Amino acid sequence: MKICFPVKEDKGLDSVLYGHFGTAPIFIVCDTETGEFEAVENGHLDPATGKHPEGQCNPVKALNGAVVDVAVVAGIGKGAMMKLGEAGISVYQGNSLLNVKGNLDMIKEGKLILFDINKTCLHHH
């Protein structure tokens, strides 16, 4: 299974979850079968603003070609969550106090829950 984690900077498995999926500068993509991971730049950010175009949320484009099964997030907008779901990507509520490795261990142990769509961000980042 491939899992992506939105992060602010690439520190590998020590990276800290970023607060909002759509504007995360980088995604750490982990393969649970091989143990390998890579950093993928957000392919949907405007370089001038660091945000995606207003009203044009495209979370799959943000993954910049990376194919994943699961996203573990600290925060996400409703539109992005719905579009990830339509692409077959499950979204889990990550623990923002833990790094990628901590969240990876938790999801492997079945300790993370699916993100509640009623707890999505209601504003644009």
Residue 102 inside a domain? The answer is yes
- CATH number of 6's domain: 3.30.420.130
Please list the alpha-helical segments (H only) found in 70-124.
78-86, 100-108
Q: Quick one: tokens of 98? A: 């833990």
Residue 124 has pLDDT above 60, yes or no: no
Residue 124 inside a domain? The answer is no
Neighbours of 34 (CB within 10 A): 8
Element (H, E) at 39: strand 37-41
Asked whether the CA dihedral 72, 25, 29, 105 is positive or negative, the reply is: negative
Q: Where residue 22 falls among pLDDT bands split at 50, 70, 90?
A: confident
pTM to 2 decimal places: 0.89
Residue 44 has pLDDT above 50, yes or no: yes
Q: How many domains does the chain have?
A: 1
pLDDT at res. 91: 97
- From the list 79, 24, 34, the residue with the least C-alpha distance to 4 is 24
Residue 20 inside a domain? The answer is yes
Q: Where residue 77 falls among pLDDT bands split at 50, 70, 90?
A: confident
Q: How far apart are CA 68 and CA 1, in angstroms?
A: 7
Burial 76-106 (b: 16+ CB within 10 A, else e): bbebbbbbbbeeebebbbbeeebbbbebbeb
